[in-house]
Amino acid sequence: MKLAFSTLGVPGLPVPEVLRLATAHGYHGVELRAHPEEPVHPGIDRGERADVAAGFKEAGVEILGLAGYARAAAPGDDAPVLEEIRGLVDLAHDLGAPFVRVFPGAGTGQSREEADATAARRLATAAEHAADLGVRILLETHDSHRTGADALPILGAVGHRHVGALWDVMHTWLGGEQPQETYAALAPYLGYVQVKDIASADDTTPLPLGSGVLPLTECVDVLSRHGWDGWLCWEYEKRWYEAAAPLPELLGPGREHLARLLNESA
């Protein structure tokens, strides 16, 4: 498996500094948070996109994917959601990134059936554009669809190889799903896995990998046992927790922890 980290842990950091951290600490790739607060987002022009892609290529670091904020199941018209997803897909194509992350984001007034149908319809439509550009849209286990079992009806209804799943290990754990259960649900669709650690279900402040309660060992064991050879991406949510320790000083030990888990599960 290859290792990456998310720029959510170093909010606003210029791309050259992100690349310096990745190369200094031995990460194979970076997940870019695609938000206007960040240096890389759908609003940047073609020249800026070319510069970012060239910088990653020169550094020998891959752009794993773009972490977008489109909500596939959100109430309302399809058009704004599809436009947002299309913008992310276009940016990913220009940067040479294989994946785009979207959230479920169902509203409180929707039934589960309505939310599932809305998300599936939009993702199936967006998949055609993504396929033309060689990008895969990943629905993250998050918010209204926290577990693999929650996401499965949407993914199954879409039935397109350019729509898959992003397994966020915190949300599936908070949803009461065991790693083996999540893998069984998402295996046919799995794009990559976001790892992290927290103190408890009541305190989700990010912690160094291995120092919290999330079942990282079990997740890696399940993936290894089934021969899965994709990406593990450390999503350290510093952006939302100002009191959390700075990520740069944790990147080295974090990579070493993941490497140990991989070695022990081999």
pLDDT in tens, 187-200: 999 999 999 999 99
Token pair in block for residue 254 = 């974090």
> At residue 249, does pLDDT exceed 90?
yes
Structure tokens at 166: 């992003």
Can you list the domains of the chain with their CATH numbers? 2-265 (3.20.20.150)
Question: Comparing C-alpha atoms, which of 30, 91, 90 is closest to residue 59?
Answer: 30
Percent of the chain with pLDDT over 90: 98
CA 136 to mean position of chain CA atoms: 12
Half-sphere exposure of 235 (CA within 13 A, CB side): 22
The torsion angles phi and psi of 194, rounded to 5 degrees, stand at -95, 125
Q: Other C-beta atoms within 10 Å of 4: how many?
A: 23
Contact of 222 with 177, CB cutoff 8 Å: no
Residue 37 confidence class, pLDDT cut points 50, 70, 90: very high
- The one-letter amino acid code at 70 reads A
* Statement: residue 265 has pLDDT above 90: no
Assess contact for 223 and 1: CB atoms under 8 A.
yes
Q: Which amino acid is at 25?
A: H
**CA pair distance 116, 154, nearest whole angstrom:** 5
pTM of the model: 0.97
Are 12 and 49 in contact, with CB atoms under 8 Å apart? no
Q: What does 11-35 look like in DSSP terms, one character per residue? A: TT--HHHHHHHHHHHT-SEEEEE-S
- Residue 266's pLDDT is 76
**Distance, CA of 68 to CA of 130 (rounded, Å):** 14
More confident residue, 163 or 108: 163
- Look-up of token digits 């290792």: 3
